[in-house]
Amino acid sequence: MPLSASPPHGVTVLQAVILTALAVVMMFAGLALAGVAGLAVGQGSGSVAVEASAMAMGQLFGFGGAAAAAVLWLRHGISWQEFLSVWPVRPRTVAFAVIAGAAYQFPLAEISNAAQEWWPVPLAKQELMARLLSPGSVVELLAVVAAIVLVAPLTEEVLFRGVLLGGLDRRYGAFIAIPLSAALFGLCHFVPSAVVYATAAGLLLGWIGLRVGSIAVTVVMHAAVNATPIFLQESWMPIRGFNVPTEGVHHLSPTLLIATTLVALGATVLLLRSEPQSLSHRHGQEQP
């Protein structure tokens, strides 16, 4: 079947795979370009600000570029808002999304810990990530927040929960769209334990995204998930199994895990009650 043979507004599995592969290729191209730019101005690797800026450029080129390509390729006569599932949400919905995202970081981290029992992350790699998430100056903090809390959630959510989840749902339904978009999202994280972590996050964000009908909520939740380790650094609040690099695998304390999971679930219930009708259905009659 030709790629253009999808029903109106839908995305096929093949198209989803192609867009994900394009995102990965363009991401590495963006990282390479950032590296060349850094060398051109005399800034090598090792600086947190430089590494965060390179990460942001890779995200923009990769996931942002693939999302833009999808809009040009697959938006068949519907508004860009409907195609990307971009609808405004209530302020209280945003507040609940922030709380839920920050709290979900801990059960998701424990899922990653469990995966590391099979696929351990070397200590050197843990320390590298801890250094990136522990900026030592205002400039570094701004660069890290821009890359990890703003650019990464926005570009990834537009592609995976906007283009892919929404498009796959329109063609196949939620039972295919949620796990497939989550799996493609997870695979883009490469490291096995990160793949498991991101796939679990993708399942959660996909379900909430379809229930609410707007990626505004998933962008905010994703940003809150990513922001939590930046603002809970080891030097401020050491938590084994979360922000302390160690040889071997350490798990979160049951008390912390249960408490944060309950907070996350409670905030999710309040979030869904805040937007009781899917925004995509509410705005479904709008035309470009």
Sketch the domain layout of the chain as residue ranges: 80-282
pTM confidence score: 0.91
Q: In which element (H, E) is residue 113 found? A: helix 91-116
Pair of tokens at residue 265: 């679930």
| Cβ neighbours of 192 (radius 10 Å) | 16
Token pair recorded at residue 18: 């192609």
The C-alpha atoms of residue 286 and residue 288 are separated, in whole angstroms, by 7
- Residue 9 has a pLDDT of 64
- Give me the tens of pLDDT residue by residue for the chain, a chain 288 residues long: 333 334 456 899 999 999 999 999 999 999 988 877 654 444 555 578 888 889 999 999 999 999 999 999 998 888 888 899 999 999 999 999 999 999 999 999 999 999 999 999 999 999 989 988 888 889 999 999 999 999 999 999 999 999 999 999 999 999 999 999 999 999 999 999 999 999 999 999 999 999 999 999 999 999 999 999 999 998 889 999 999 999 889 999 999 999 999 999 999 999 999 987 665 555 554 433
Kindly state the DSSP code that residue 46 receives in the 8-state scheme.
T
Give the per-residue pLDDT at 37: 65
Closest by CA position to 154, among listed 207, 86, 203, 206 = 86
In this structure, the number of other CB atoms found within 10 A of the CB of residue 232 comes to 17
**CA–CA–CA angle 264, 270, 272 (5° rounding):** 100
Asked if residue 19 lies in contact with residue 66, where contact means CB atoms within 8 angstroms, the answer is yes
CA torsion, points 130, 133, 138, 140, in degrees to nearest 10? Answer: 90
Tokens (6 digits) for 102: 């920050």
- Give pLDDT, residue 119: 95
Distance CA 263, CA 104 (A): 8
CB atoms within 10 A of CB 247: 9
Q: Which of 183, 148, 150 is nearest to 164 (CA)?
A: 183
Note the Cα 112 to chain centre separation in Å: 15
Note the pLDDT of residue 39.
47
**CB 274 within 8 Å of CB 98:** no
The tally of CA atoms less than 13 A away on the side-chain side of residue 229 is: 24
Distance CA 84, CA 40 (A): 37
Q: Residues 6 or more apart from 63 whose CB is under 8 A from it?
A: 23, 27, 155, 156, 158, 159, 160
Residue 161 in contact with residue 205, Cβ under 8 Å? yes
Q: What are the b/e assignments for 206-230, b being 16+ CB within 10 Å?
A: bbbbbebbbbbbbbbbbbbbbbbbb
